[in-house]
Amino acid sequence: MTTETKPGSRERLLEAAATLTYRDGVNIGVDALCKAAGVSKRSMYQLFESKDELLAASLEERTSTYVATLLPTADDGRSPRERILHVFDQLTSQAAAPDFQGCRFLVVQIELKDQSHPASRVAHRVKENLTAFFRAEAEKGGASDPYLLARQLILVFDGASARAGIKADTPTGLITPTVTTLLDAANMR
């Protein structure tokens, strides 16, 4: 006989925040968050200082899964070029899901105009880390200007994610040739 433990109030709030903000946006109300989590407002405010802190914690909790899904493992034997292309292959796969709304970290940055908002700071750090990954791989691959290439790659990543998220376009068949052109122009190995 196995006993399953029901997620606690904190976990339910984090999950509700992740689901509702991704689907409906960051302006979702506290009442809706609490209702979805089955938690009273009083309990929410005992666990989190504010809705802003809840949103930041929810994003933070999803960071490791996002990174593990998107980035190749360290020293996986692939060339820097292949490692960069892997990231875009992952984006293409994710974008094919019917519920894909774009990169949740980009969406938060767009919706929250205040860069000092706790959730915006989490999202900004995640995007900076992705740019740093691109730059490190560009340096290892001998790119002529690793900093510029990293900035170009994050622009393509965010643009493809946003376009796929609003169902304006799909990265399938478009993103790999675009990224390959950038890698070739930078003399990337």
Q: Digits of tens for pLDDT over the chain (189 positions)?
A: 444 556 799 999 999 999 999 999 999 999 999 999 999 999 999 999 999 999 999 999 999 999 999 999 988 999 999 999 999 999 999 999 999 999 999 999 999 989 999 999 999 999 999 999 999 999 999 999 999 999 999 999 999 999 999 999 888 899 999 999 999 999 998
Quick one: CA torsion of 143, 163, 52, 117, rounded to 10 degrees? 50
> Who's near 6: CB < 8 A, 6+ residues apart?
none
CB atoms within 10 A of CB 35: 14
Record the pTM: 0.92
**Domains (range + CATH), the chain:** 58-185 (1.10.357.10)
First to last CA, the chain: 55
The answer to whether the CB of 95 falls within 8 A of the CB of 49 is no
Residue 5: per-residue pLDDT: 57
Q: Say if residues 175 and 92 touch (Cβ distance below 8 Å).
A: yes
> Other C-beta atoms within 10 Å of 168: how many?
8
The reported pLDDT for the residue numbered 35 is 97
CB 16 within 8 A of CB 37: yes
- Long-range (24+ apart) CB contacts under 8 A made by 117-125 are 117/52, 117/56, 118/52, 118/53, 118/55, 118/56, 119/26, 119/52, 119/55, 119/56, 119/58, 119/59, 121/56, 122/56, 122/59, 122/60, 122/63, 123/59
Output b/e per residue, 82-117; b: 16+ Cβ within 10 A: ebbbbbbbebbebbeeeebbbbbbbbbbbebeeeeb
